[in-house]
Structure 1
Amino acid sequence: MDISQSPGFYAIAEADPDRPAVIDADGCTTSYGELLARVNQVSHGLRARGLGEGDVVAGVLPNGLDAVVMLMATGQIGLYHVPVNWHLTEPEIAYILGDSEARVVVAGEAYARAVPGAEVGVEGLAAGQPTGAPAERTSGAVMWYTSGTTGFPKGVQRALPGAPPESVVPLYTWFLGEVCDLRPGDGVHLVTSPMYHSAPCAHTQFALHLGHTVVITPKFEPVGILELVARHRVTNAMMVPTMFHRMLQLPDEVKAAYDVSSLRQVIHTGAACPIAVKQGIMDWWGPVLYEYYGSTESAIAFAVKPRDWLARPGTVGRPAPTFEAKILDEAGMELPAGEPGMIYIKSSLGTFEYRKDPVKTASSMRGEWYTPGDIGFLDKDGFLFLCDRRTDLIVSGGVNIYPAEIEAAFLEHPAVADVVVIGVPDAEWGHNVVALVQPVEGVTPGPELTAGLMAHCVPRLARFKHPKVVEYRDELPRTPTGKLSRGKVREQYLASAGG
């Protein structure tokens, strides 16, 4: 294993302080030296609040410089950093802050009202603090919250390395080089998605460890992305298939107006990408699409480079370096090539646990093997093809949505006797959320009830979780044990819709 000796962000900033580090949405550039000075100040400020190794800091922060500062500051003083989805409702945010036991919360000005007691931005933490490196530096970790079948998010927690960042970073930059051909140097990384998601957050962090310039956009907009690529000569970016779909829909003259020839690696994950969409982007941009498959828990478990995908359209790749994979049937027996079953993986890079939930951790494991809960098969050359996402997971626009959480909110409404939430295929979003509702006896279904149900969701669920369609049923199928037959409901719905 030839690990690239990239010194990482902190050393690069000391050696080359004038190198551009971050270009924000307003076009303002922060150098590596300026960023390190603020990162060090915030590190000192967090320690001044009494935080020590293993403590938790949360950030409810928009894409921007403060989000980057918190990521790199916690990363050198042994803290767990929890990026929080700012689209969540106040109760949803409060749950994550309480469950993580965050001792300090930093919120963007627009979200501070939803987070009582939060620091507004990093200014307060940085004020009056020295710009030099803190003593006894040790690596922190990001702890992302991911939902489970219960609908309640759980923190994916990994053991802290117990070593300074410079001794840990080379392994991960080597890994990214093997998977995505990303190398240290003068690259330019474009952030296109909210940094509270695991992949955009991780790619931002490691772009800095590679010495790249990070260009941040607050939200995805097709023409705006193309303009940024052309203006900053972007070399690599992280996207989801929905973005590809939207850009392909642009008029030919608009697509031709922007020079995208600087792109070398455009990495995508988060949802299955239709073969025609991926092929269309590579016809336009060239063979630059790198794909990986994994989860917040497993990180990058499978990966495929452009030319391997072109030779096997539809694959999500072979096991990434340090990973092993196998396909098991319901009895736990390993299946041969071409036979679909549950995907299991393991890595020598270490394991994870769900914070404060050993039962959930154990339920996702078979010995030292972890399953993301998805069905797929390996071909004779070891390339993985997905058959379906986990049964109850809805992936819409690259975002995971869990039906149980939505169903629980609907069942709080007095007019709902039963409900099932399913994902229905959609060309743009991957899936749309559809709620099939069984009203209580005597309640008349119709537009008035639908409006009431949607209003009921507003304080309980983030907007992206709201169903796009609500339909009514006299009865929903359940097994004799009371378990909802979600698969049967989905089949019936698609059949009736002609899908």
Structure 2
Amino acid sequence: MNAYEQHLGKNPANHQPLTPLTFLERAAKVFPDQLAIVHGAGRTSYKTFWERSLRLASALAARGIGKGDTVSVMLSNTPPMLEAHYGVPMVKAVLHSLNTRLDAAAIAFQLDHAETKVLIVDREFSAVMADALALASVKPLVVDFDDPHYAEDAPYPKGERIGAEDYEDLLAGGDPDFAWSMPDDEWDAISLNYTSGTTGNPKGVVYSHRSAALMCYANTIHAGLGKHGAYLWTLPMFHCNGWCFPWTLAVQAGTHVCLRWVRAKAMYDAIADHGVTHLCGAPIVMATLINAEDKDKRDFSQQVTFNTAAAPPPEAVLSGMAEAGFAVTHLYGLTETYGPAVVNEWKGGWDALDKGPRTTKKARQGVRYAALEGLTVMDPETMQDTPADGETIGEVMFRGNIVMKGYLKNPVASDEAFAGGWFHSGDLGVMHPDGYIQLKDRSKDIIISGGENISSIEVEDALYKHSAVASCGVVARADDKWGETPVAYVELKPGRAASEDEIIAHCRALLARFKCPRTVIFGEVPKTSTGKIQKFRLREMARNL
């Protein structure tokens, strides 16, 4: 034993479990009167936010909820969702946020798999939740949330009460001075998020207190969150726990501006009225902002940082966002990496590049987050790095402290995901000479035509350069001669028109002929609740052509 190991062990004075729960505790003590949450006409200070979270924890503890128990929530981007991110883990329980667009069968599967003990339900979703509970084997305590700020012009009416208790009554019976518990170990589970389940049942991704806390620091750095910034909730909080931003904002005592429905006027009003500095979302949210009618737009003086994941936005969208006052940061990650773990770190000199080279730089996913220890592209068979030539395709792999604990009750899938000591993303990409990665496709989305690999992302990038294209997805279609050929599903911008021949000719001007779609189908492109194109739906549609 060397001198640095003698009498220098861990003790309570120098070692505590990492957890994001302490961020809210600090914010409430240091900035008790600072505005924490805006929801409709409601305003909540950090002191009240902390006390309500404690009340929730106290009420859960009184009902026997403790370590390892699952509390599921079916909630919009509203204050109870934020309170659940703290109150549930305060009693060492695990928060399971349900996707609000799931059907009853999918919800029932998750409730049973998670062994849900308590279920908090927004009345907007009570009908589908009632159906799910009828299908599920578990019989959790059901709590209704009746939103007092439900908009008069709501696109969906409130459903019937289905719970045994009311959320506000539950909190009223809780103790605002409740003695909450730090996790026994920072590796303990804090939340459970299910993958989309495009093939078979979804897998339950387990997050730890440690990784969630580290993600908060990384978010603060890479999103450029300053003290008391204002964050608009366009990204669903159920999606990877809102990329950990429900916990992150407390680091800088920022303001959560809640938004139940993503609509152009509501977003512009929030940005102008509440001084919003940051928001996150898919490209569809950007399109909603820049394509909004003039009557729905508002002027604002501050520059707003827009963090986006999924496919890189087309140049026209980036230009439109810049003109509207938004600075776009391109991110990449997965549910298994707590949301974004890769950032396109933009270098000042790139602004002077011509449009083509600048767009090429923008299209890259980027480099690892500060909280991620390893990011590479490998041959998944040999587990050797691919050459950093920007051309050799391999699988994108992650290693570090913001990678999931594993899949709940699924050791086989966990072992496969972590084979060779790296997390296998299933995404195919290349490594550029400067260390920036760029996605080329999901492994299942590569189209093999006449023995040649076609990246669906490359074809989609070409399609997005057509001025009439709002969104698109490209998948393989079986072909007797070529094996597979690309088929494009295209959703046009409102009021715009284009023919199949026009779209194909446009692609031929940008791509090798064999990469161009042979068929173009116009109509609404199916998307997930977070705005991502549902490729599995498109593949199903292509099989029926």
Q: How high is the TM-score relative to the length of structure 2?
A: 0.67
Amino acid at match of 1:235: T
Shift of 1:273: 2.2
Q: Is the 8 A contact 1:325 1:346 kept in 2?
A: yes
Sort the Cα spacing of 1:467 and 1:175 in 2 relative to 1 into closer, same or farther, 3 A.
closer
Q: Secondary structure at the match of 1:21?
A: strand
Q: Secondary structure at the match of 1:103?
A: strand
Sort the Cα spacing of 1:391 and 1:266 in 2 relative to 1 into closer, same or farther, 3 A.
same
Shift of 1:151: 3.1
Question: Within the alignment, does 1:50 sit opposite 2:99 as a pair?
Answer: no
Q: Is the 8 A contact 1:291 1:316 kept in 2?
A: yes
Q: Partners in 2 of 1:50 and 1:27 — Cα distance?
A: 34
The percent of aligned pairs where both chains have the same amino acid is 22
Q: Secondary structure at the match of 1:50?
A: coil
Shift of 1:18: 1.5
Give the one of 277, 288, 306 matched to 1:266. Answer: 306
Give the one of 89, 95, 98 matched to 1:81. Answer: 95
Which residue matches 2:479? Answer: none
Which residue matches 2:385? Answer: 334
Shift of 1:50: 1.1
Pairing of 1:123-142 with structure 2 (within 5 A): 123-138=168-183, 141-142=190-191
Which residue matches 1:179? Answer: 222
Q: Is the 8 A contact 1:106 1:118 kept in 2?
A: yes
Pairing of 1:176-325 with structure 2 (within 5 A): 176-183=219-226, 185-198=227-240, 200=242, 202-250=244-292, 253=294, 258-285=298-325, 288-299=327-338, 300-307=340-347, 311=358, 312-321=361-370, 322-325=372-375
Question: Within the alignment, does 1:16 sit opposite 2:31 as a pair?
Answer: yes
Shift of 1:146: 0.8
Amino acid at match of 2:368: P
Shift of 1:153: 1.4
Sort the Cα spacing of 1:18 and 1:107 in 2 relative to 1 into closer, same or farther, 3 A.
same
Which residue matches 2:489? Answer: 424
Question: Within the alignment, does 1:152 sit opposite 2:201 as a pair?
Answer: yes
Q: Is the 8 A contact 2:220 2:248 kept in 1?
A: no
Shift of 1:169: 7.4
Shift of 1:135: 3.9
Amino acid at match of 1:118: V
Tell me which moved more, 387-396 or 207-216.
387-396
Shift of 1:343: 0.9
Sort the Cα spacing of 1:390 and 1:219 in 2 relative to 1 into closer, same or farther, 3 A.
farther
Q: Secondary structure at the match of 2:341?
A: strand
Q: Give every structure 1 segment of 4 or more consecutive aligned residues whose post-TM-superposition deviation is greater than 6 Å.
A: 393-396, 464-471
Shift of 1:390: 4.2
Unaligned runs of 5+ in 2: 1-17, 134-140, 146-166, 352-357, 447-455, 461-470, 476-486, 495-527
Shift of 1:350: 5.2
Q: Secondary structure at the match of 1:99?
A: helix
Q: Deviations over 1:77-125 (max 9, x none)?
A: 3221001122222222111110011111111123334244511132243
Unaligned runs of 5+ in 1: 162-167, 404-421, 430-460, 472-485
Q: Is the 8 A contact 2:54 2:178 kept in 1?
A: yes
Sort the Cα spacing of 1:90 and 1:250 in 2 relative to 1 into closer, same or farther, 3 A.
closer
Pairing of 1:469-480 with structure 2 (within 5 A): none
Shift of 1:467: 9.0
Q: Is the 8 A contact 1:317 1:383 kept in 2?
A: yes
Tell me which moved more, 385-394 or 326-335.
385-394
Q: Partners in 1 of 2:298 and 2:253 — Cα distance?
A: 26
Sort the Cα spacing of 1:65 and 1:202 in 2 relative to 1 into closer, same or farther, 3 A.
same
The alignment of Structure 1 onto Structure 2 pairs a total of residues equal to 412
Q: Is the 8 A contact 2:38 2:258 kept in 1?
A: yes
Which residue matches 2:142? Answer: 118
Amino acid at match of 2:434: D
Shift of 1:188: 0.6
Question: Within the alignment, does 1:359 sit opposite 2:412 as a pair?
Answer: yes
Question: Within the alignment, does 1:344 sit opposite 2:397 as a pair?
Answer: yes
Q: Secondary structure at the match of 1:225?
A: helix
Amino acid at match of 1:23: V
Two-structure CA RMSD over aligned residues (Å) = 3.8
Shift of 1:249: 2.1
Q: Secondary structure at the match of 1:374?
A: strand
Q: Is the 8 A contact 2:206 2:404 kept in 1?
A: no
Q: Partners in 2 of 1:178 and 1:222 — Cα distance?
A: 28
Q: Secondary structure at the match of 2:218?
A: helix
Question: Within the alignment, does 1:388 sit opposite 2:441 as a pair?
Answer: yes
Q: Is the 8 A contact 1:23 1:29 kept in 2?
A: yes
Sort the Cα spacing of 1:294 and 1:169 in 2 relative to 1 into closer, same or farther, 3 A.
closer
Shift of 1:60: 0.9
Pairing of 1:75-114 with structure 2 (within 5 A): 75-113=89-127, 114=129
Shift of 1:7: 6.1
Tell me which moved more, 372-381 or 275-284.
275-284
Q: Partners in 1 of 2:193 and 2:38 — Cα distance?
A: 25
Q: Partners in 2 of 1:468 and 1:159 — Cα distance?
A: 30
Q: Deviations over 1:178-233 (max 9, x none)?
A: 322223x2111100133211263622331133200110111111232112101111
